[in-house]
Amino acid sequence: MDSYLLGSVVFGCVFFGSLFGMSLNVLLPEHHRSQQTHDAIKLGTGMISVLASLILGLLVASVKTSFDTTDTQMRTFAANLILLDETLRDYGPDATKARDLVRDYTAHAIEDHWPQESNRPPTMENANSGAILEGARIEILNLKADDAYHRDLRASAVRMADSVLQTRWLLIERSESSIQPVFLIILIAWITVIFMSFGYNAPFNFTVIASFFICASALSACLFIIAEMDTPFDGTIVISSHAMRDALAHMSR
Protein backbone atom coordinates (compact mmCIF):
# COMPACT_ATOMS: atom_id res chain seq x y z
CA MET A 1 0.00 0.00 0.00
CA ASP A 2 1.47 3.35 -1.07
CA SER A 3 1.44 5.56 2.04
CA TYR A 4 1.74 8.78 0.03
CA LEU A 5 -1.23 7.81 -2.14
CA LEU A 6 -3.23 6.90 0.96
CA GLY A 7 -2.44 10.24 2.61
CA SER A 8 -3.43 12.13 -0.54
CA VAL A 9 -6.71 10.22 -0.82
CA VAL A 10 -7.57 10.90 2.83
CA PHE A 11 -6.77 14.60 2.46
CA GLY A 12 -8.90 14.90 -0.68
CA CYS A 13 -11.84 13.02 0.79
CA VAL A 14 -11.84 14.98 4.05
CA PHE A 15 -11.21 18.46 2.67
CA PHE A 16 -13.42 18.30 -0.41
CA GLY A 17 -16.03 16.36 1.55
CA SER A 18 -16.25 19.22 4.04
CA LEU A 19 -16.51 21.75 1.18
CA PHE A 20 -19.27 19.65 -0.37
CA GLY A 21 -21.10 19.72 2.95
CA MET A 22 -20.78 23.51 3.09
CA SER A 23 -22.20 23.79 -0.43
CA LEU A 24 -25.16 21.63 0.55
CA ASN A 25 -25.96 24.08 3.33
CA VAL A 26 -26.33 26.75 0.67
CA LEU A 27 -27.93 24.82 -2.19
CA LEU A 28 -30.53 22.69 -0.38
CA PRO A 29 -34.08 24.00 0.01
CA GLU A 30 -35.01 25.79 3.21
CA HIS A 31 -36.96 22.88 4.73
CA HIS A 32 -33.79 20.73 4.51
CA ARG A 33 -31.86 23.31 6.49
CA SER A 34 -34.06 23.62 9.56
CA GLN A 35 -32.66 23.49 13.08
CA GLN A 36 -34.24 20.09 13.66
CA THR A 37 -32.47 18.75 10.56
CA HIS A 38 -29.14 20.08 11.80
CA ASP A 39 -29.70 18.55 15.23
CA ALA A 40 -30.56 15.14 13.76
CA ILE A 41 -27.45 15.18 11.57
CA LYS A 42 -25.30 16.14 14.56
CA LEU A 43 -26.62 13.20 16.57
CA GLY A 44 -25.96 10.71 13.79
CA THR A 45 -22.52 12.15 13.07
CA GLY A 46 -21.66 12.03 16.77
CA MET A 47 -22.21 8.28 16.83
CA ILE A 48 -20.10 7.76 13.70
CA SER A 49 -17.39 10.01 15.16
CA VAL A 50 -17.14 7.86 18.27
CA LEU A 51 -16.86 4.69 16.18
CA ALA A 52 -14.26 6.22 13.84
CA SER A 53 -12.21 7.56 16.76
CA LEU A 54 -12.26 4.16 18.44
CA ILE A 55 -11.24 2.32 15.27
CA LEU A 56 -8.53 4.87 14.46
CA GLY A 57 -7.11 4.63 17.98
CA LEU A 58 -7.07 0.82 17.86
CA LEU A 59 -5.42 0.92 14.44
CA VAL A 60 -2.65 3.24 15.67
CA ALA A 61 -2.06 1.06 18.74
CA SER A 62 -2.00 -2.11 16.63
CA VAL A 63 0.56 -0.91 14.07
CA LYS A 64 2.70 0.69 16.81
CA THR A 65 2.77 -2.58 18.75
CA SER A 66 3.59 -4.53 15.59
CA PHE A 67 6.36 -2.06 14.69
CA ASP A 68 7.90 -2.26 18.18
CA THR A 69 7.68 -6.06 18.17
CA THR A 70 9.47 -6.25 14.83
CA ASP A 71 12.13 -3.84 16.08
CA THR A 72 12.69 -6.04 19.16
CA GLN A 73 12.89 -9.15 16.98
CA MET A 74 15.47 -7.47 14.76
CA ARG A 75 17.63 -6.56 17.77
CA THR A 76 17.31 -10.11 19.08
CA PHE A 77 18.16 -11.39 15.60
CA ALA A 78 21.35 -9.31 15.52
CA ALA A 79 22.30 -10.39 19.05
CA ASN A 80 21.83 -14.07 18.13
CA LEU A 81 24.03 -13.63 15.05
CA ILE A 82 26.77 -12.11 17.22
CA LEU A 83 26.48 -14.91 19.76
CA LEU A 84 26.55 -17.52 16.97
CA ASP A 85 29.70 -15.96 15.55
CA GLU A 86 31.36 -15.92 18.97
CA THR A 87 30.43 -19.56 19.56
CA LEU A 88 31.97 -20.55 16.24
CA ARG A 89 35.05 -18.49 17.06
CA ASP A 90 35.42 -20.38 20.32
CA TYR A 91 35.08 -23.66 18.42
CA GLY A 92 38.32 -23.04 16.58
CA PRO A 93 39.71 -23.05 13.03
CA ASP A 94 37.39 -25.86 11.90
CA ALA A 95 34.45 -23.43 12.13
CA THR A 96 36.06 -20.76 9.95
CA LYS A 97 33.91 -21.55 6.90
CA ALA A 98 30.73 -21.46 8.95
CA ARG A 99 31.78 -18.11 10.43
CA ASP A 100 32.43 -16.70 6.96
CA LEU A 101 28.98 -17.80 5.83
CA VAL A 102 27.32 -16.20 8.87
CA ARG A 103 29.19 -12.96 8.18
CA ASP A 104 28.25 -13.06 4.49
CA TYR A 105 24.61 -13.64 5.41
CA THR A 106 24.62 -10.67 7.79
CA ALA A 107 25.96 -8.40 5.06
CA HIS A 108 23.35 -9.67 2.59
CA ALA A 109 20.56 -9.28 5.18
CA ILE A 110 21.41 -5.60 5.63
CA GLU A 111 21.08 -5.06 1.88
CA ASP A 112 17.84 -7.08 1.74
CA HIS A 113 16.09 -5.45 4.71
CA TRP A 114 17.24 -1.87 4.10
CA PRO A 115 17.30 -1.39 0.32
CA GLN A 116 17.02 2.39 0.81
CA GLU A 117 20.58 2.46 2.15
CA SER A 118 22.02 0.65 -0.88
CA ASN A 119 19.73 2.05 -3.61
CA ARG A 120 18.27 -1.38 -4.37
CA PRO A 121 14.66 -2.56 -4.63
CA PRO A 122 13.39 -4.41 -1.53
CA THR A 123 13.99 -8.17 -1.58
CA MET A 124 12.85 -9.36 1.83
CA GLU A 125 12.65 -13.02 0.85
CA ASN A 126 16.00 -13.36 -0.91
CA ALA A 127 16.65 -16.99 -1.86
CA ASN A 128 20.41 -16.40 -2.11
CA SER A 129 20.60 -14.98 1.41
CA GLY A 130 18.54 -17.86 2.75
CA ALA A 131 20.84 -20.35 1.01
CA ILE A 132 23.88 -18.74 2.65
CA LEU A 133 22.35 -19.04 6.12
CA GLU A 134 21.23 -22.61 5.47
CA GLY A 135 24.75 -23.39 4.26
CA ALA A 136 26.15 -22.06 7.53
CA ARG A 137 23.79 -24.37 9.44
CA ILE A 138 24.91 -27.38 7.37
CA GLU A 139 28.56 -26.50 8.01
CA ILE A 140 27.85 -26.37 11.75
CA LEU A 141 26.12 -29.76 11.65
CA ASN A 142 29.13 -31.23 9.83
CA LEU A 143 31.65 -30.02 12.41
CA LYS A 144 33.60 -32.85 13.98
CA ALA A 145 33.48 -32.78 17.76
CA ASP A 146 36.05 -35.08 19.40
CA ASP A 147 35.52 -33.98 22.99
CA ALA A 148 32.78 -32.76 25.31
CA TYR A 149 33.86 -29.12 24.98
CA HIS A 150 33.46 -29.07 21.19
CA ARG A 151 30.28 -31.15 21.31
CA ASP A 152 28.69 -28.60 23.63
CA LEU A 153 29.79 -25.73 21.40
CA ARG A 154 28.42 -27.46 18.29
CA ALA A 155 25.10 -28.21 19.97
CA SER A 156 24.84 -24.60 21.11
CA ALA A 157 25.67 -23.32 17.62
CA VAL A 158 23.04 -25.59 16.05
CA ARG A 159 20.37 -24.28 18.41
CA MET A 160 21.31 -20.68 17.65
CA ALA A 161 21.39 -21.34 13.90
CA ASP A 162 17.88 -22.82 14.11
CA SER A 163 16.71 -19.80 16.11
CA VAL A 164 18.23 -17.41 13.57
CA LEU A 165 16.50 -19.21 10.69
CA GLN A 166 13.16 -19.07 12.49
CA THR A 167 13.53 -15.36 13.25
CA ARG A 168 14.46 -14.68 9.63
CA TRP A 169 11.15 -16.11 8.44
CA LEU A 170 9.23 -14.22 11.12
CA LEU A 171 10.79 -10.96 9.93
CA ILE A 172 9.95 -11.82 6.31
CA GLU A 173 6.31 -12.41 7.24
CA ARG A 174 6.13 -9.19 9.27
CA SER A 175 7.46 -7.14 6.35
CA GLU A 176 4.10 -7.38 4.55
CA SER A 177 1.19 -5.06 5.29
CA SER A 178 -1.32 -6.43 7.80
CA ILE A 179 -4.07 -3.85 7.15
CA GLN A 180 -6.87 -4.95 4.85
CA PRO A 181 -7.75 -2.36 2.15
CA VAL A 182 -11.49 -2.81 2.82
CA PHE A 183 -10.89 -1.78 6.43
CA LEU A 184 -9.26 1.47 5.33
CA ILE A 185 -11.95 2.16 2.73
CA ILE A 186 -14.69 1.92 5.38
CA LEU A 187 -12.72 4.09 7.81
CA ILE A 188 -12.09 6.77 5.17
CA ALA A 189 -15.77 6.70 4.20
CA TRP A 190 -16.77 7.28 7.82
CA ILE A 191 -14.34 10.18 8.20
CA THR A 192 -15.57 11.72 4.94
CA VAL A 193 -19.20 11.53 6.09
CA ILE A 194 -18.26 13.10 9.41
CA PHE A 195 -16.60 16.09 7.74
CA MET A 196 -19.43 16.46 5.25
CA SER A 197 -21.66 16.84 8.29
CA PHE A 198 -19.26 19.35 9.84
CA GLY A 199 -19.30 21.35 6.63
CA TYR A 200 -23.09 21.20 6.45
CA ASN A 201 -23.37 22.67 9.92
CA ALA A 202 -20.63 25.29 9.48
CA PRO A 203 -20.86 28.84 8.09
CA PHE A 204 -19.19 29.52 4.77
CA ASN A 205 -16.10 31.66 5.52
CA PHE A 206 -12.33 31.55 5.15
CA THR A 207 -11.67 30.65 8.79
CA VAL A 208 -13.84 27.53 8.58
CA ILE A 209 -12.24 26.50 5.27
CA ALA A 210 -8.76 26.95 6.77
CA SER A 211 -9.71 24.84 9.80
CA PHE A 212 -10.99 22.06 7.52
CA PHE A 213 -7.73 22.23 5.55
CA ILE A 214 -5.73 21.79 8.78
CA CYS A 215 -7.95 18.91 9.93
CA ALA A 216 -7.63 17.19 6.54
CA SER A 217 -3.84 17.57 6.71
CA ALA A 218 -3.72 16.12 10.24
CA LEU A 219 -5.88 13.11 9.35
CA SER A 220 -3.94 12.41 6.17
CA ALA A 221 -0.70 12.56 8.16
CA CYS A 222 -2.16 10.12 10.70
CA LEU A 223 -3.14 7.57 8.04
CA PHE A 224 0.24 8.13 6.34
CA ILE A 225 2.08 7.24 9.56
CA ILE A 226 -0.13 4.18 10.05
CA ALA A 227 0.64 2.92 6.52
CA GLU A 228 4.35 3.63 6.95
CA MET A 229 4.64 1.79 10.27
CA ASP A 230 2.66 -1.15 8.89
CA THR A 231 5.59 -1.89 6.54
CA PRO A 232 8.60 -1.61 8.89
CA PHE A 233 11.28 -2.26 6.25
CA ASP A 234 9.96 -0.16 3.39
CA GLY A 235 9.11 3.52 3.09
CA THR A 236 10.01 6.61 5.08
CA ILE A 237 9.54 5.21 8.60
CA VAL A 238 11.65 2.05 8.89
CA ILE A 239 13.33 0.05 11.62
CA SER A 240 16.92 1.11 12.24
CA SER A 241 19.69 -0.99 10.73
CA HIS A 242 22.07 -0.07 13.56
CA ALA A 243 21.77 -3.43 15.36
CA MET A 244 22.59 -5.46 12.25
CA ARG A 245 25.43 -3.17 11.23
CA ASP A 246 26.83 -3.43 14.73
CA ALA A 247 26.63 -7.24 14.44
CA LEU A 248 28.50 -7.15 11.11
CA ALA A 249 31.17 -4.89 12.58
CA HIS A 250 31.56 -7.24 15.53
CA MET A 251 32.05 -10.22 13.18
CA SER A 252 34.71 -8.35 11.21
CA ARG A 253 36.97 -7.77 14.22
pLDDT at position 231 is 85
pLDDT at position 221 is 94
Residues of the chain scoring pLDDT < 70: 1, 31, 33, 116-122, 253
pLDDT at position 87 is 92
Q: How many CA atoms lie within 13 A of 248 on its CB side?
A: 13
pLDDT at position 212 is 93
Q: CB pairs under 8 A, 24+ apart, for 95-101?
A: 95/139, 95/140, 95/143, 95/157, 97/139, 98/136, 98/139, 98/140, 98/143, 98/157, 99/251, 101/132, 101/133, 101/135, 101/136, 101/139
Q: Where are the domains of the chain?
A: 3-251
